[in-house]
Amino acid sequence: MAYQSFEELEVWKRSKGVAVLIYACLRDCRDFSLRDQMQRSAVSIPSNLAEGAERGGLDYARYLKIALGSAAELRTQCYIARDVGALKSEDAETLVAELKEISRMLSSLSRTVTTRAKTPSASTSGPEH
């Protein structure tokens, strides 16, 4: 498989979009602690995906798992933010649905990366991601 830049990955594009949407949805949120935590979780997803892609191999798989954890963390925070009135219900629904899809994509990519990293020929054919 030829090298694919993280910017070309649909999961990176979508997770970056979620981060931008979180900033927009929480722009007027006065709960600074919740807003900050949600922004950090949101930014963590595409950031870990990018860092892992650049490292490659089993490091890539590890960073994908971290991104997956951040996606679950952000989903939980969306539910909480909705329940306390910091996030509109329709925005929470949109974000949660997108985060579930991103989680599926990250899980699939993680399985592929792990399999390729553990295949002996993968380590001799250059970067695999």
**What are the pLDDT digits (tens) for 62-119?**
999 999 999 999 999 999 999 999 999 999 999 999 999 999 999 999 999 999 888 8
- Whether the pLDDT of residue 127 is over 90: the answer is no
- pLDDT, residue 3, reads 58
Place of tokens 């649909």: 10
Residues 6+ positions from 105 with CB-CB distance below 8 Å: 10, 11, 14
- Among the residue ranges 26-30, 33-37, 113-117, the one predicted with the least confidence is 113-117
The answer to whether residue 123 scores a pLDDT higher than 80 is no
Structure confidence at residue 124 (pLDDT): 47
Instruction: Report the distance separating Cα 100 and Cα 96, nearest Å.
Output: 6
- Residue 119's region, left for phi above 0, alpha for psi from -120 to 50, else beta, is beta
Residue 93 covered by a domain: yes
Average pLDDT of the residues in 1-18: 88
**Residue range(s) defining the domain that contains residue 93:** 8-116
> Is residue 2 domain-resident?
no
Residue 124, in any domain of the structure: no
pTM: 0.89
CATH assignment of the domain containing 48: 1.20.1440.60
Residue 15 forms part of a structural domain: yes
Please list, in sequence order, all residues whose beta carbon lies within 8 angstroms of the beta carbon of residue 59, skipping any fewer than 6 positions away.
Answer: 52
Number of domains in the chain: 1
Look at residue 29 and tell me if it is in a domain: yes
| Alpha carbon distance 88, 115 (integer Å) | 40
Interval 38-46 mean pLDDT: 98
**Quick one: three-class SS letters along 7-66?**
HHCHHHHHHHHHHHHHHHHCCCCCCHHHHHHHHHHHHHHHHHHHHHHHHCHHHHHHHHHH
- Whether 127 maps to a domain, the answer reads no
Mean pLDDT computed over 25-47: 97
For 13: left if phi > 0, alpha if psi spans -120 to 50, otherwise beta; the answer is: alpha
Give the chain's mean pLDDT: 92
- Classify residue 129: in a domain, yes or no: no
| 28 within some domain | yes
